[in-house]
Amino acid sequence: MVDFKQEIAELLVQHIDGMSAGEIAALVEIPADKSRGDYAFPCFKLAKIMRKAPPLIAAELAEKIRGSELFEKVEPVNAFLNMFINKEHFISACLKEVLSEKERFGSSDLGEGQTVIVEYSSPNIAKPFHIGHIRTTVIGNALYKIFDFLGYKVVRINHLGDYGTQFGKMIAAYRHWGSREEVEADPIKTLLAYYVRFHDEAKNDPALDEEARQAFAALERGDAPETELWQWIRDESLKEFRRVYDMLDIDFDSWAGESFYSDKMPAVIEELKDKGLLTESRGAQIVDLEPYGLTPAIITKSDGTSIYLTRDLAAAIYRKKTYDFSKCIYVVASQQDLHFKQLFKVLELMGFEWAKDMVHVNFGMVSLPEGTLSTRAGRVVFLEDVLNTAVEKTREIVLEKGVNAELIDETAKTVGIGAVVFNELSASRIKDYTFKWEEVLNFDGETGPYVQYTHARCASVLRNAAEKYGDSISFEGADLSVLTSPAAYELVKEIYEFPAIVKEAALKYEPSVITRHIIDVAQGYNKFYHDEHILVDGAAERKAKLLLTAASKETIRNGLALLGIKAPERM
């Protein structure tokens, strides 16, 4: 895409001494008030260089660049140089870029030669894959797609919670009340019932907790009975998880969970000792982080068993050796902020300069109207139930609208699941929210179905043009001057911003930047659609409007794809 800020800078640098084109481009801004132009250049910083008042500098620069074909109009306003881009030049450059790049529009080679690891989803084995997991899952998947789109090699890791004291509890619970037939018939709900019962029974029988500790210690030693039971529970849980991932069209390059690092922890603990970082505290081995304003990092508990910080240390070191990442991203809830501060600080103290490349992408918590999610209390909403309900709700709506019966199943799935994902990615990730069915499945307003419908509308316009006029998408014979109307031009400007929006989303680790932008594109197209008749008899005008329709469709499709949402051709 033509970088108009850079183009402006290349013109201005010829008349400004003491500043580079890059420095000038960094100062060029887009005015909030559209009547002030497409771009503005503040002249305050030039006062010392040119020894003149900023308004006078703005007036002189306006005179010097006014003749460029890049501009329709240039005018000084106080200390600002306001520039109105030549609309036809701008429109032509933008549409040609979109329609030549198509599904790659907005992509770049920014990350060429660099590897990014994204760890996300990471549900706990033998526990529900519930609505609380959806944020890490869809945020992580979107970040994977965004970084991949920008040319990075991305490794997707599902760091399964398949180890720890919880497994001691699950093994103990299964031995007391478990049935293989029950588990295989409905793994997660059955195992959840065992887990909830364990906590209820343990309140009155402390011996159960000790039994669980012993079971986990045996698992860490690699004792056969516990290891075989653990493997079976893990396999049964994964069958359930994969069904949900298939619904979301999500996959991973690695399913290596916490257990994968169990044999790698001793070397890490030994290295901590060798570097003089371990101290004993009440029988536990810790790294004292008080000098850095953090609580002590526990490495092994008093009974000698590990905790997930130990496993995360081993995982980070393994990943650096295996993938030589330039960035390792952890998409984990804000509840774990302290954990990641400890993890990154311990790695730094161990002398790993790459600790600076570790990033915790946190997000707000999901709660239910009746309170916070709690596996122990059995207060959860299964993610699979949410997705299935969304699909059924959508099916009812499309039946009411009389959609072609052959398309109902496909449309219901695409739009229903898309609505849930879009809802999760529509607001800043750091915000807490309460999960409410009526909001998640609301298809009105600035929602996923609205954006998907706009894409389908674009597709319908293009089909109708082909059927009625035999039109194909071509610049030949198109009169782009008709796209200088307010609705058309503002839509082109939104499309033009898309590549920069993708980079901003990556920089901020914030998929909602893309979500908000494609809402703006969809609204812009719908305004254009309602304000102007597209399928007019005049071929030159019609072809230009079809070019803008096709560019809108491509932009919306690419934006939805980066969010992990499909763009239907018909709705």
Token pair, residue 545, equals 């409007």
Token pair, residue 174, equals 């299964």
**Which positions of the chain have pLDDT values less than 50?**
none
- Residue 127: active-site member: yes
Q: Sign of the C-alpha dihedral, residues 69, 73, 77, 80?
A: negative
Rg (CA), the chain: 29
Q: Which of 45, 73, 89, 127 is catalytic?
A: 127
**Which domains, ranges and CATH numbers included, belong to the chain?**
4-85 (3.30.1360.70), 115-263+308-372 (3.40.50.620), 383-563 (1.10.730.10)
Token pair, residue 279, equals 């101290």
Residue 258 is which amino acid?
E
Token pair, residue 439, equals 């909001």
pTM exceeds 0.85, yes or no: yes
DSSP string, 354-365: GGGGEEEE--PP
Q: Which of 133, 493, 543, 553 is catalytic?
A: 133
d(CA 175, CA 194): 10
Output the pLDDT for position 370.
66
- Residue 130: active-site member: yes
| DSSP character at residue 335 | G
Q: Is 380 exposed, middle or buried (0-12, 13-18, 19+ CB in 10 A)?
A: buried
Helix (H, G, I), strand (E, B) or coil at 436: coil
Dump pLDDT digits (tens) for 289-323: 999 999 999 999 888 777 889 999 999 999 999 99
Output the pLDDT for position 371.
59
Q: Which of 130, 327, 393, 455 is catalytic?
A: 130
DSSP string, 283-330: TEEEE--GGGT---EEEE-TTS-B-HHHHHHHHHHHHHHHH--SEEEE
Token pair, residue 537, equals 């008899």
| Number of residues written out for the chain | 571
d(CA 250, CA 490): 35
Q: With beta carbons less than 8 A apart as the criterion, state whether 257 and 159 touch.
A: yes
- Residue 133: active-site member: yes
Q: Is 557 exposed, middle or buried (0-12, 13-18, 19+ CB in 10 A)?
A: buried
Output the pLDDT for position 7.
95
